[in-house]
A = this chain, B = another copy of it.
Amino acid sequence: MNKRKIIMDCDPGHDDAIAIILAAARQELEILGITTVSGNAEIEKTTMNALKICDLVSLTDVIVSKGASGPLVRVRETAPGIHGDTGLDGPELAEPSRSWSGEHGADTMIRLIKESEEPVTVLPTGPLTNVALALAKAPEIKDHIEEIVLMGGGTFGNWTPTAEFNIWADPEAAKKVFDSCIPTTVMGLDITHQAMASQEVIDQVNQIDNKVAKIVGELLEFFAETNKEMFDLDGGPVHDVLTVAYCVAPELFKMKEVNIVVETKGEFTAGTTLVDLHGVTGRERNAKFGLELDVEGFWNLMFESLKKY
């Protein structure tokens, strides 16, 4: 079987962690490497969390490289209100068995893409700083990226009324990605809010009897609480997991080809994605945008994958 080669560029983060867990369970994917970025928490924490999750799911021979410690140009902001102080509050996880690679995340991304015989899919689930740095240093990798499947943006916001956290945290990096002409697929809030880990979902996860599922249950419970508190949501939307699910089962997703640009200059709107659903701007299509999720299919994929552990 020809596995799809992926690089996971993430800031774990509860949903990033579950995204790694899902990916590690899937035969359809080969994780070439994991690169971390500052976002939900500081870079030291997101890197530590990535290493811990790799141990949990036995990804110990996959390279983990620490990437950017802050956005390209702006001041760093994190999201402790959602992910807790460690960036992954909730479950108890053992200290990692190893350290990160010593190579910068952006360099690992460049190297893995260049070394791969087949085109590589990049799955950014944090701010897009590493991807932007990689494109800045080695623009020639564009031709060897099959697709960028990212979590970010949407037609509405969470961190501001119009901006989603990942794009808001580094708008210039996001602009660079959307302007890059690489095939880009976007899981924005419109579709990720459909993947709400309700109490019912958590209950089903908790019925799966293995250590990984137990941890996932604890992650979802913590995440549901903070999302309730901060955004008045009924459960935590497992945003980042959709990027992995899309690579495995695209048939669960109703997508639309649209133009997306990122605002970097506004007084109030920096980090806003303008998703041109109705073609009113006349700008060329440059992204596939997630409209509708087969919610039942998605959760079944999750449950089935967790049972493999």
Cα-based distance from A144 to B27 in the complex (angstroms): 47
0/1 interface trace, chain A 67-82, chain B, CB 8 Å (1 if under): 0111011000000000
Nearest CB of B to A233, in Å: 9
Binds B, one of A17-25, A234-242, A260-268: A260-268
Which single member of B133, B156, B157, B264 contacts A267 (CB below 8 Å)? B264
Complex-state Cα separation, A304 to B270, whole angstroms: 46
| Interface residue A58 (Cβ < 8 Å from any Cβ of B) | no
Q: Contact between A261 and B265 (Cβ–Cβ < 8 Å)?
A: no
The reply to whether B70 and A72 contact each other, CB–CB distance below 8 Å, is no
Give the number of copies in the complex. Answer: 4
In angstroms, how far is the closest chain B Cβ from the Cβ of A10? 18
Which one of B73, B137, B172, B276 contacts A106 once the chains associate, using CB atoms below 8 Å? B137
Known contacts: A263-B268, A267-B265. The answer to whether A280 contacts B68 by CB under 8 A is no
Given contacts A133-B133, A156-B156, A161 and B268 within 8 Å (CB-CB): no
Chain B residues with CB under 8 Å of A97's CB are none
Q: Are B264 and A73 in contact (CB under 8 A)?
A: yes
Nearest chain B CB to A285 CB, angstrom units = 13
18 A-B interface contacts by CB (under 8 A): A68-B136, A72-B72, A104-B137, A107-B107, A133-B133, A155-B161, A160-B274, A172-B172, A230-B280, A231-B278, A231-B280, A263-B266, A263-B268, A263-B269, A264-B265, A265-B265, A266-B269, A266-B272
Q: Are B267 and A263 in contact (CB under 8 A)?
A: yes
A175 within 8 Å of B by Cβ?
Answer: yes
Alpha-carbon distance between A133 and B72 when the two chains are bound, in angstroms: 8
